[in-house]
Amino acid sequence: MPKRQLDAYDRRILVALQKNGRLTNVELADQIGLSPSPCLRRVRMMEEAGVIQGYEARLDPHEVGLGLTVFVGVKVERHHERDAEMFRNEVSALPEVIAAHLVSGESDFLLQVVVPDLRGYEQFLLHTLLKLPGVKDIRSNFAIQTVKPQSPLPLDHLGR
């Protein structure tokens, strides 16, 4: 639950910015039905509160030479907080890892890795992942086709 209650205008702002983070404040205000000053004030408040964490461009991985996506399940040896923290810090510093999650189930962590190709993954696996402290087991799942790319967050439930 967000720290501050989001109203209908806040939700409209968030939906619009998820679709197009390059909107000017005037365009955004016009789209959601507010004047520019209160619109900007709301955006800044949501940025300061951490509701809006940043703005970025979505890139086509193939077009930038990162054609292979691998979902990697990692099991760690021990479940001590210190060991888990070390692993999280190491993984967070790897540019090939574009997302990392602590999960329940067969693996302890699920990583999303992007590399140029299978040879690139082999190098990353052998020279980086397997050398991380505490790694017990790694299971790799290769993405064959992206059926649905990362989507905007579904904000419809917020008004309820």
Q: Do residues 46 and 94 share a domain?
A: no
Is residue 147 assigned to a domain? no
pLDDT in tens, 121-133: 999 999 999 999 8
CATH code of the domain containing 79: 3.30.70.920
Q: How many domains would you assign to the chain?
A: 2
Is residue 122 assigned to a domain? yes
pTM score, two decimals? 0.85
Indicate the residue among 16, 32, 57 that finishes a domain: 57
Is residue 42 assigned to a domain? yes
Is residue 160 assigned to a domain? no
Say if residue 23's pLDDT is above 90.
yes
Is residue 63 assigned to a domain? no
Is residue 1 assigned to a domain? no
* Mean pLDDT score of the chain: 92
**DSSP string over 33-46:** T--HHHHHHHHHHH
Say if residue 76's pLDDT is above 60.
yes
Q: Do residues 118 and 81 share a domain?
A: yes
- Rounded Cα distance, 147 and 124, in Å: 25
Confidence of residue 140 (pLDDT cuts 50, 70, 90): very high
Instruction: Specify the DSSP element, H or E, that contains 13.
Output: helix 8-19
- Rounded Cα distance, 150 and 134, in Å: 30
The owner of tokens 């990392």 is: 100
Say if residue 1's pLDDT is above 50.
no
Angle at alpha carbon of residue 141, lines to 137 and 147, rounded to 5°: 155
Residues 6+ apart with CB under 8 A from 59: none
Q: Do residues 40 and 75 share a domain?
A: no
**Containing structural domain, residue 42:** 8-57
Say if residue 82's pLDDT is above 70.
yes
- Rounded Cα distance, 115 and 96, in Å: 6
Say if residue 3's pLDDT is above 70.
no
Q: Do residues 88 and 117 share a domain?
A: yes
Is residue 158 assigned to a domain? no
For residues 62-73, average pLDDT: 97
Cβ atoms within 10 Å, residue 121: 21
CB 28 within 8 A of CB 43: yes
Confidence of residue 5 (pLDDT cuts 50, 70, 90): confident
CATH code of the domain containing 33: 1.10.10.10
DSSP 80: -
Confidence of residue 4 (pLDDT cuts 50, 70, 90): low
